[in-house]
Structures are given as C-alpha cells and as structure tokens.
Amino acid sequence: MNKVNKITVFLAIIIVSLATILLKQNIGVKENVHVVSKSEEERKDTPQNQNLKTNEQQVKPKKKEKESTSNEMITIFISGEVKEPGVVTIEGNKRLSDAIDKLGGFTSEANLNKINLAMKIEDEKHYIIPKIGEDVENTPKDIDESKSVESKSEDSKININTANIQELDELPGVGEATANKIISYRDEKGKFNNIEEIKNVNGIGDKKYEDIKEMININ
C-alpha cells in the first residue's frame, strides 16, 4: 500500500470515529429530554399542591353584605292588656302579634276586636292593647302622644252615677235586670261615693266587680 492510500485510510478512520462520538452524544441528549404526559400534569393539581397554591395566594376578605332593613332589630313599647307590659326588641319584619307573644301574650280582658294584630310595627312606637269596653285608637303612638289616648280611655268609662239602663247593660255580666237594680240603689241611696260601693247592689259580687271595675267611674 502506498503512502497516499495509508493517509486516506487513516483519515477515514478518524472521520468514522468522530461521527461515532457525535452520534453517541446526540443519543445522550435525547435520553435526557423528558416529555410531560397529561397524567403527570393532572398529578400536579393534587389537593396538596392546590393547598400550597391557596396558601401562597392572599385571600381577599369578602365584604359583609348589608343586612336587609326588614331584618333589622327595632324596639317598641307595648302596654295595656298584655301579660308582661314593657319594652320589646324584635325584627322589623315582624307583626304586632309576634311582639305580643314575646311579652307573654294577652290577658283575659284584652279586647281583640279593637286591635289589628296583623299590623306592621314601627321602631320607637307605643302600642296599647285595650281592655274590653275601652276605645283605644288602633295606631302606634309616640310616648308623648299616648297620654291623650289614655285620657280618651278614661273618658270612655261608664259613669255609674249618671248612666242609663242601656249604658249599664254594656258592662260585662250586667244585664237589664242588674242595671235596673243599680239605678234603684242610686235613687234610694244617692250617688256612689266610689266605684267599689257598687258591690252593695244586689247581684254584683266580688267577681263581677273585678270584671267591671276598670270600665266604670263616678265622675
């Protein structure tokens, strides 16, 4: 083999060796490439990872929604024929009957025909539950205004010194016969000095007197 051929063979060997080395390096690079599969991406969103993300984020506090005005608490005063008269605080969307229930309900002498239990209640108002025989306006009153209502209730009482048979007959448990006895007693003895004196009339005992004492006067 001549010298030229030897050099050609030697260069060929070198080229093949270099090509082999480069090929191996390319294969190594490809082996280091990692293709992320869909399942691996889903594993990234595990509850633990999500918790980490949540902790990293600043959670903005939600603004407190303004309560409906219908649910705001209001305070009213109820007097008259309720078992526990006084001030009661209750939701503004409730009715008068709901407020009365919170005060123990009505007394046995409450005149339910003179009050609208379904009325809407108003803040800082005074409600008067009338007694049988009283004529109280069925509207809420401010504290100062309620004085005139009380005066009206006093005026609506039956004067046993001047009442006729028809007026006396309106009293609970007092019929026409008893009304005649009251007038006869008044004619014989003169005017009543106090309302309790009406118990001297035949047919009016302690129980009947208790039923009518808030409905009568002598003035």
Read off the CATH number of the domain in which 204 is found.
1.10.150.310
- Domain membership of residue 164 as a residue range: 158-217
Same domain, 93 and 169: no
Same domain, 194 and 164: yes
151/162 same-domain check: no
Pair 140, 205 in one domain: no
124 shares its domain with 176: no
Last residue of a domain, one of 155, 173, 195: 155
Q: Are residues 171 and 104 in the same domain?
A: no
- In which residue ranges of the chain is pLDDT below 70? 1-4, 24-70, 134-155
Instruction: With respect to residue 43, please indicate whether it lies within any of the assigned structural domains.
Output: no
Examine residue 74 and state whether it is found in any structural domain, yes or no: yes
Q: Is residue 57 part of a domain?
A: no
Residue 200 lies in a domain: yes
Write out pLDDT tens, residues 120-147: 899 888 988 888 876 555 555 554 444 4
CA–CA dist 30, 71 (Å, integer): 70
Within a domain: 49: no
Tell whether pTM > 0.75: no
- Report, in this order, helix, strand and coil percent for the chain, each rounded to 5: 45, 15, 40
Q: Given this model, what pLDDT does residue 25 score?
A: 64
Q: Which amino acid is at 191?
A: K
| Residue position matching structure tokens 């008259």 | 80
26 vs 36: CA distance, rounded Å: 20
Query: Considering all CA atoms of the chain, what is the largest pairwise distance in Å, rounded to the nearest integer?
Result: 174
Q: How many domains does the chain have?
A: 2
Say what the pLDDT of residue 216 is: 92
Strands of 73-80's sheet in order across = 86-91, 73-80, 126-129
pLDDT for position 42: 52
Q: Which residues of 23-44 are buried (b: 16+ CB within 10 A; e: fewer)?
A: eeeeeeeeeeeeeeeeeeeeee
Note the pLDDT of residue 18: 76
In this structure, are 97 and 84 located in the same domain? yes
